[in-house]
Copies of this chain bind each other. A is one copy, B any other.
Amino acid sequence: MSLSTNTEDLKELLCFNIYSLNRSFGRYYSSAFSETGLTYPKFVILMALEADGPMSISTLSAKAGVEANTLSPLLKKMAEFGAITRQRSDDDERRVEVGITPMGKDILARAREVIAKGFEDLGIDPKQMIDAMHFLEETRGRVDRASPPKLSFDGIT
């Protein structure tokens, strides 16, 4: 699908471009990290944990923009592996505090190298990227705040 000047098409294309590029990045990183078993979502988790120290699952959920029920099993596996720590809070028995381990930090450091190196190879124009990222952030805010219109028709399963 190419960019036409038809407004109707453009509306549909923004989400398609996002959808599509997201999967391209996913394949790219899964290839880059292949030997390691690290995935992009796990990378995001390690980034957040290293940056903002131990935190509860719900806090991490908010930072990474991923639902807590998605993180829950993921964190369990990462803890079993040894990349993160995971323990019930004493203050509030409902909460589970997760933090990065030295092993996790090591993995993260290496992943960062991969990304930095790969990024240079991509040859992306920095200025364009900054503009685009502002647009993406702005758009994400709008989408998150919006209440989408609903139209119903016989369901497709």
Contact = CB atoms under 8 A, between A and B. Distances in A.
Given A110-B151, A124-B139, A149-B121, A81 B25 contact: no
B8 A15 contact: no
A116 B21 contact: no
Contacts of A7: 47-48, 51-52, 63, 126
Nearest to A26: B19
Interface of A: 1-3, 5-25, 28-29, 31-38, 40-42, 44, 47-48, 50-52, 63-66, 77-78, 81, 83, 106-107, 110-119, 121-124, 126, 128-137, 139-140, 142-144, 146-157
Query: Chain copies in the assembly?
Result: 2
Contacts of A66: 23
B131 A37 contact: no
A132 to B, nearest CB: 4
Given A1-B129, A3-B134, A121-B146, 7 more contacts: A1-B48, A12-B112, A12-B133, A16-B44, A28-B143, A36-B154, A128-B131
B148 A1 contact: no
Main secondary structure of the interface of A (DSSP, over half): helix
A104 to B, nearest CB: 8
A107 to B, nearest CB: 6
A107 B3 contact: no
Nearest to A70: B23
A3 to B, nearest CB: 5
Nearest to A152: B35
